[in-house]
Amino acid sequence: MARRSDAFNPEGRAPADGEFARIGRWLLPLADDLPGLGDLVPRTLIDNGDDALAVRPAEPLVISMDMAVAGTHFPAAAAVADAAVKALRAALSDLAAMGARPWFYTLGLVLPDGLSDADWQALHDTLRAENRHWQVRCLGGDLTRGPGLVFSVQVHGLSERPLTRCDARAGEDLWVTGTLGGSAGGLAGLQGERPLLPTLQDAFYRPALPLTFMQAANPLLSAAIDISDGLVSDLQHLLSASALSAELLLDEVPVNPDLLHHDTRAEALDRALYGGEDYQVLFTAPPEHSTRLQTLAQHQAQPISRIGRLRANEPDQPRQLTARWQGRPFSLRTSNTGYDHFA
Ligand SMILES: Nc1ncnc2c1ncn2[C@@H]1O[C@H](COP(=O)(O)OP(=O)(O)OP(=O)(O)O)[C@@H](O)[C@H]1O
Ligand SMILES: Cc1ncc(C[n+]2csc(CCOP(=O)(O)O)c2C)c(N)n1
Ligand SMILES: [Mg+2]
């Protein structure tokens, strides 16, 4: 039975709008049981509210941390609840890439002055809805005041067989989930560079993670990586880790169709290849699994596209990434190594 400290029952000891009261009112309840969580409920030994959490995982624990900073990962003017969803989904996407099932997360929050009760309520309600949607709970975290919004989300997942970036093999197919480029289109809209379509704004703030599909497909796959920096950049991470070359078939790349309201096909393809933050998963699998993968994807209404093939590196040659588009060789900007926070 988990032990729970009642240190956060302020009962007149702490100011009603102080740190402890806010944690008690808005954050601790995010650890509450959710209907339908079933055996995913962590067996906690020491619950949230103490100095630290203690848990006993029944399977290998898969851990990843992601930060989201106002002005860097989302516009400084973003609503706190929108930013929270993006931060949580970006973090959970690493569990999708590992083929792991989410267990719980911990949440570091830096909040600016002047957050209203309505903002807190929206933050709480949104995270509760996210928890229910992804079948996950927030079991702890940290809260401080600072000059702007920062989220630091550490996700904890479970998997008997976490997928890596380094186990792809020559001759296997390259696949990607969902559609690409929508998040970059949404960001361009939010920044006033093009009209803002609600579907693209959603692609930016609320990426549709392939979590369920990746858990079910895990036994059929050899390697995977989530697309945070951009398809070309993240594919190169996978190729480096697996010491392989690849050819991309650009006509098969699932460009978000809503981009075509305002982009040419070439502009939309560019966002799909280099935009990043779609938080879809690029994965590899032997060709003999392709029918099973397509059937599984259909059952789950999860779009997947086969976008290329892996091959061995030429002897004494560096890894190569080539592409074809509309019947012709297409020159990729392979020097585009994705979003670099310090370049
Ligand atoms: N401060 C740090 N201390 C130790 N290791 C770090 C630190 N920052 C990053 N790393 C490690 O570097 C690797 C790459 O980190 P990165 O944040 O780029 O992860 P990613 O999954 O490739 O991208 P994303 O964060 O967009 O999901 C990870 O394995 C991560 O654990
Ligand atoms: C305001 C604003 N400006 C630019 C971007 C674009 N951007 C920021 S981080 C990142 C890669 C993933 O980040 P990380 O490697 O930290 O996980 C990208 C494509 C944005 N989202 N918001
Ligand atoms: Mg990642």
Query: Looking at this protein, which amino acid is placed at residue 61?
Result: L
Residue type, 82: D
For the annotated binding site, the residues are 51, 64, 66, 73, 94, 141-142, 165, 226, 228-229, 277, 339
Same domain, 190 and 80: no
**Residue range(s) defining the domain that contains residue 199:** 173-330
What's the pLDDT score for residue 39? Answer: 46
pLDDT of residue 5: 55
Last residue of a domain, one of 108, 123, 158: 158
If phi > 0 it is left, if psi is from -120 to 50 it is alpha, else beta; for residue 293 that is alpha
Q: Is residue 164 part of a domain?
A: no
Residues 175/284, Cβ–Cβ less than 8 Å: yes
Domain end call among 158, 188, 223: 158
Domain of 115, CATH number, reads: 3.30.1330.10
Residue 13 lies inside a defined structural domain of this protein: no
pLDDT for 54 equals 83
Query: Does residue 196 belong to any structural domain of this protein?
Result: yes
- Give the position of tokens 């599984």: 296
Q: 72 C-alpha vs ligand 2 centroid, how far in Å? A: 6
For residue 289, tell me if it sits in a domain. yes
Query: Are residues 182 and 321 located together in one domain of the fold?
Result: yes
Same domain for 144 and 202? no
Pair (123, 185) in one structural domain: no
Q: Please check whether residue 8 lies inside any domain of the structure.
A: no
190 plus 312 within the same structural domain:
yes
Tens digit of each residue's pLDDT (9 = 90 or more) over 248-275: 999 999 999 999 999 999 999 999 999 9
Is 221 among the domain residues?
yes
Q: b/e for 261-291, b at 16 or more Cβ within 10 A?
A: ebbeeebbbbbbbbbbbbbbbbbbbeeebee
Residue 234 falls inside a structural domain? yes
CATH number at residue 284: 3.90.650.10
Judgement on whether residues 324 and 180 belong to the same structural domain of the protein: yes
Q: In this structure, which ligand is nearest to the CA of 186? A: 2
| φ, ψ at 305 (rounded to 5°) | -135, 135
Task: Kindly state whether residues 153 and 195 are assigned to the same domain.
Answer: no
Ligand 2 atom, smallest distance to 275 CA: 19
| Tokens read off for 77 | 């003017």
The residue whose CB lies within 8 Å of the most ligand 2 atoms, and thus the one to mutate among 67, 73, 342, is 73
Ligand 1 centroid distance, CA of 66 (Å):
8
Q: Which pLDDT belongs to residue 13?
A: 58
Q: Which atom of ligand 2 is nearest to the CA of 276?
A: 19
C-beta separation of 95 from 211 below 8 A: yes
Same domain, 197 and 148: no
Please check whether residue 166 lies inside any domain of the structure. Answer: no
Give residue 3's pLDDT: 58
Residues in the ligand 1 pocket, defined by CB under 6 Å: 66, 94, 228
Low-confidence ranges of the chain (pLDDT < 70): 1-16, 33-45
Strands 244-249 and 321-325: parallel
Are residues 209 and 313 both part of a single domain?
yes
Q: Are residues 131 and 238 in the same domain?
A: no
Q: If we measure between CA atoms, which residue out of 23, 138, 17 comes closest to residue 9?
A: 23
Residue 4, judged by CB atoms within 10 A of its CB (0-12, 13-18, 19+), counts as: middle
Do 134 and 221 lie in one domain? The reply is: no
Q: Clarify whether residues 62 and 114 are in a common domain.
A: yes
Count of the separate structural domains present in the chain: 2
Is the CA virtual torsion 259, 210, 229, 225 positive or negative? negative
3-state helix, strand, coil split of the chain in percent (to 5) is 35, 25, 40
b/e code 183-222 from CB counts within 10 Å (16+ = b): bbbbbbbbeeebebbeebbbbbbbbbbbbebbbbbbebbb
